[in-house]
Amino acid sequence: MVIDFHTHIFPDKIAGNVIGKLQLLSRSCPYTDATAGGLQASMKQASVDYSITLPVMTNPGQVEKLNTLAGQALVSAKETGLIPFGGMHPDYENYKAELRRLHDMGIRGIKIHPAYQGVDFDDIRFLRIIDAACELGLIVLTHAGMDIGIPGHNFTSVSHIHHVLKELSPPKLVLAHMGGWDCWKEVEQDLAGAPVWLDTAFSLGIIEPAPGTNRTPEESMMMNPKDFLRLAGKHGTDRILFATDSPWSSQITYRKMFDDMTLTDEERANIMGQNAIRLLKAEL
């Protein structure tokens, strides 16, 4: 079974506008139209069984509406192949009640994005949210490292992550982008082996520039397979989650990269889906 642990979709009526703005901000090319139908077509082409869909809440007023939509989408997840997570914003006041509502709906995790939300990962507002989520057994998936569209400040640095681990020891913390986008040397040196999961979203291969934008070869290069395998081996392949960040990476290209990597059958099966099943504690 193949599970993509990190994808994004938007309602059909706004997907075009949203993806247009984001591709200019990030100077990177999307590989789907960022709709549910576009993701499902990509999954079929790439033989991906399930995709976790993650919201990004840029203001507290979005929290209840987007979480309600996640609960509605969960009802048909077996049929659609799309498993929604909820989300939380650090300035949302009734976070405990809202996390309880997500738990009671059957949602298995939340996404936070310190860079888009403008708050450091180890800020007390996030610490409270993570602590409350942990009490409910929810997975917490956070953007980690630099953000391609927000240069200048790392809101989820390795130092921030270590502070959170020291304060809370969250049992189900997933760090996107192999622990820290564009900070992979530091992750390998100072974070590999920590009690966290790393997802592979938007961390492998080449960034395709959006039309009308330019990238130098250095700006376009992410991790190569050799560096990935070294980091994964040091961290433990039992805590690596296959993920693409669709629409920002191609699911079929990612599948081919992992098919071509020097992994044992057990390591490949764990990364591609078995680790996710264990973390989700779900029968899929």
Q: How many residues does the chain have?
A: 284
Window from 28-32, 37-41, 95-99 with minimum mean pLDDT: 28-32
For residue 170, what pLDDT is reported?
97
Could you give the 3-state DSSP secondary structure of residue 120? Answer: coil
Q: Taking residues 189-212, what's their average pLDDT? A: 92
Q: Decide if 87 contacts 66 (C-beta within 8 A).
A: yes
- Dihedral angle of Cα 58, 171, 247, 150, to the nearest 10 degrees: 50
CA dihedral 29, 32, 35, 39 (to 10 degrees): -130
Strands of 75-201, DSSP E: 82-84, 86-87, 109-112, 139-142, 173-175, 197-199
Q: What is the CA radius of gyration of the chain?
A: 17
Which two tokens mark 138? 């929810």
Instruction: Give the model's pLDDT for residue 21.
Output: 87
pLDDT, residue 111, reads: 98
Q: Which residues pair with 204 in a beta bridge?
A: 223
Among 168, 97, 95, which Cα is nearest to 134's?
A: 168
How many whole angstroms separate alpha carbon 108 and alpha carbon 258? 26
Instruction: Give the Cα separation of 167 and 43 in Å (integer).
Output: 38
| Cα distance between residue 54 and residue 111, in whole Å | 6
- Closest CA relative to residue 180, chosen from 165, 159, 209, 195: 159
Is the pLDDT at 283 greater than 70, yes or no? no
> In terms of DSSP bridges, do strands 173-175 and 240-241 run parallel, antiparallel, or are they unpaired?
unpaired
Q: How far apart are CA 32 and CA 38, in angstroms?
A: 5
Is residue 282's pLDDT more than 90?
no
Q: What is the pTM of this model?
A: 0.96
User: Under a CB-based contact definition with an 8 Å cutoff, are residues 41 and 81 in contact?
Assistant: no
User: According to the model, what pLDDT value does residue 220 have?
Assistant: 82
DSSP 162-188: HHHHHHH--TTEEETTTTSBT-HHHHH
| pLDDT (average), residues 147-164 | 95
User: From residue 127, how far is each of 167, 170, 190 by CA, in Å?
Assistant: 8, 10, 21
Q: Are 227 and 241 in contact (CB under 8 A)?
A: no
State both tokens at 103.
């738990």
Per residue in 244-275, pLDDT (tens digit) is 999 999 999 999 999 999 999 999 999 999 99
